[in-house]
Amino acid sequence: MNVNSPAAFFVGNIPVFGNLILSPMDGLSERPFRSLVRKSGSAMSYTEFINAMDVLAGIPRIQKKIAYYEFERPVVFQIFDDDPDRILNAARQLIPFQPDILDINMGCSAHHVAGRGAGAGLLPQPHKVASIIQNLVRNLPIPITAKIRLGWDDHNRNYLEIARIVEDCGAQLIAVHGRTKAQGYSGRADWDAIAEIKTLLHIPVIANGDVQSVANIQRIQTHTRCDGVMIGRAALFNPWIFSYRDRQQVSQKEVKLWIDTHLNEMIEFHGIDQGLILFRKYLKRLLSPYQLNEETILPLLTETDLDKFKHNLDLLFNSSLIFKP
């Protein structure tokens, strides 16, 4: 973050110094990965989504979901539920942990979330969206934002109505994934729809969907005139995209350094055994551009001894099996 440069945009009165942002991803955008990406150029830190019912029940895992480093600010806690009062009560319990912004998840398409009317399940319920945003804006001291999809399915694309409600009820930013709930992550993201929302609203609009390269960043910005670009799945195999570098521009040495640093963060955060196990999902994606065969990568993804894992990783990177992607 270069605070000597002009802010790219503001969320309420909070300046954001950059226009590339790591998308919140359940089980992935936890502090170890998210903080490294923040150092790489992501301009804000969104937590994984937080279940309001878990907050109210005092479920211990919430502490890890809301953990962040001070340098990550502005920090956004993303919350989900289908009940306006539950969301407000949970949000009040989260405020003492000093998030800069609270975001409402209206984009998750997973059945266990959308199927109970939360996440993207809120999109067919505009009155409930209005109630949630109004409740939070009236009762909380920090900016409220929202992340949405285009609608439930192709027959119910009510994104303009939802976007207008989000702004009219006092939210300070909207992030838009250019797909419907029914699409999940299939098909193409509709950048035209994001551009429509940007034309309609006065608050910042963040574009999300099908951004895989630096060229994609430039194209989606030109196409939508958005204030920022949110990148999710592509960041898992190329976290350097936030510093405007495609994966083929990243050296083998840099990849190895990232892996070592991320692994250390995971172990510090989760402990040795759990940290190593959970690190595998990141490692598999980081190594995917090298197109390694299963015989080569399987021992790494199944090793449970940390010293052996590090030894095997060193052997891999010192071998001829790794080549520039």
Domain ranges (residues) in the chain: 9-240, 251-318
List pLDDT tens digits, range 96-116: 999 999 999 999 999 899 999
Pairing mode of beta strands 144-148, 20-22: unpaired
Give helix 272-287 / helix 294-302 axis angle, nearest 10°.
Answer: 160
pTM: 0.94
Q: How many angstroms separate the CA atoms of 160 and 153, rounded?
A: 14
pLDDT at 223 over 50: yes
Give Rg (Cα) of the chain.
20
Tell the residue number behind the tokens 């099996």, with chain if given. 321
| Whole-Å CA distances, 7 to 19, 24, 161, 206, 243 | 9, 22, 29, 15, 17
Provide the pLDDT confidence category of residue 286 given band limits of 50, 70 and 90: very high
pLDDT at 1 over 70: no
Share the mean pLDDT of the chain.
95
pLDDT at 165 over 50: yes
List pLDDT tens digits, range 179-215: 999 999 999 999 999 999 999 999 999 999 999 999 9
The pLDDT score that the predictor gives to residue 4 is: 63
For residues 18 and 6, the answer to whether their CB atoms sit within 8 Å is no
For residue 324, how many other CB atoms are within 10 A of its CB?
12
Q: Does domain 9-240 have CATH number 3.20.20.70?
A: yes
pLDDT at 309 over 60: yes
* Catalytic residue set: 108
Mean pLDDT to the nearest integer, 276-282: 96
List pLDDT tens digits, range 41-88: 999 999 999 999 999 999 999 999 999 999 999 999 999 999 999 999
